[in-house]
Amino acid sequence: MPEVTLVEAVNLALARAMEEDANVVVLGEDVGVNGGVFRATVGLQQRFGAERVIDTPLAELLISGLCVGMAAQGLKPVGEIQFMGFIYPCIDQLVNHASRLRNRTQGRLSCPMVLRTPHGGGIRAPEHHSESTEAMLAHIPGLRVVMPSSPERAYGLLLAAIRDPDPVVFLEPTRIYRASKGQIEDNGEALPLDVAFVLRQGRDVTLISWGAAVKETLAAADELAAEGIDAEVIDLATLKPYDEETVLASVTRTGRCVIVHEAARTGGFGAEIAALLAERGLTSLVAPIARVTGYDTIMPLPRLEQRYIPSVARIVAATRKVCQFS
């Protein structure tokens, strides 16, 4: 099996989906001739033609609106938004149309569209290129929000998102696009949506993360293991709807929880998980829940970017504190 990066895995999944289903259409700014700003769609227009890989104007509202219209008429559009900071014009279409279409038509129509966009910081990009506002999207009823943390999960989850009959926002962590490689058999096999992945089993504390932050979380677990702290690591993967039962089962075993995400702390998705544990897992907890997050500021580019993103040291320190509590 070939080893590929996460962005190459996205390309493989798109090509596989387009090969298997003529209704799958890719559209966005520079996705065709140039192959996308991060090269996620390179080669697709040459392979499938300009009618299925469509270069659009610089208009995110147009891209999302086209996706809704195409989906309502039987196509399976995959729209690309170049950076997450440009997704805000799409909110109108996502809130008022894509997420409501099945309900509005009493099941007569659905909206099988995917909106892909790079997520988060770590590449020293300008403002609007380092956003991590997944909690805002997860708040929209009727919308799935998915974020892979490895090439293998990017391939399988993107295929599942494209095949899903309802709208999915697929967030691709920019700083791990090319950070590592994974072995992928390009066999078209999807991974399940709405299911968290237990990447490492442990008995002392549960570490929960998603997207690029999973990398630092796993590294922190290795460092903690050297100190005798056995951490379980969960990659949430699908944020809406997320796998509550896996989270609860893990914290029931360990009694402690640290939640790690790059997004700003206030209103971040980690607060939703903490609320779940307070409501349904309180009697299992032997220590307060800790959150290791970004700060309540705009990403401080470029010099303080790495200070903003949760580091291994910050995760280790928070976990030590949780494990010392009695």
Summarize pLDDT for 146-200 with one digit per residue, the tens.
Answer: 999 999 999 999 999 999 999 999 999 999 999 999 999 999 999 999 999 999 9
First-last CA distance in the chain: 48
Summarize pLDDT for 21-76 with one digit per residue, the tens.
Answer: 999 999 999 999 999 999 999 999 999 999 999 999 999 999 999 999 999 999 99
Specify the amino acid at residue 215. K
Task: Verify that 209 and 295 share a domain, yes or no.
Answer: yes
Q: Can you give the residue range of the structural domain that contains 216?
A: 197-324
Q: How far is CA 117 from CA 47, 147, 305, 308, in A?
A: 22, 10, 20, 21
Instruction: State residue 128's pLDDT score.
Output: 83
The CATH number of whichever domain residue 296 belongs to comes to: 3.40.50.920
| Packing angle, helices 6-20 and 151-163, rounded to 10 | 30
Is residue 170 domain-resident? yes
Contacts of 102 (CB under 8 A, 6+ apart): 109, 110, 111, 142, 166
Task: Verify that 206 and 155 share a domain, yes or no.
Answer: no
State how far the Cα of 48 lies from the Cα of 38, in Å rounded to an integer: 19
Active site residues: 129
Instruction: State residue 256's pLDDT score.
Output: 98
Contacts of 265 (CB under 8 A, 6+ apart): 291, 293, 294, 295, 296
Say if pTM beats, i.e. exceeds, 0.85. yes
Q: Provide the residue count of the chain.
A: 326
- The number of distinct structural domains making up the chain is 2
**Do residues 232 and 254 touch, judged by C-beta distance below 8 A?**
yes
Task: Verify that 206 and 170 share a domain, yes or no.
Answer: no
125 — pLDDT class (breaks 50, 70, 90): confident
On the question of pLDDT at 326 being above 80, the answer is: no
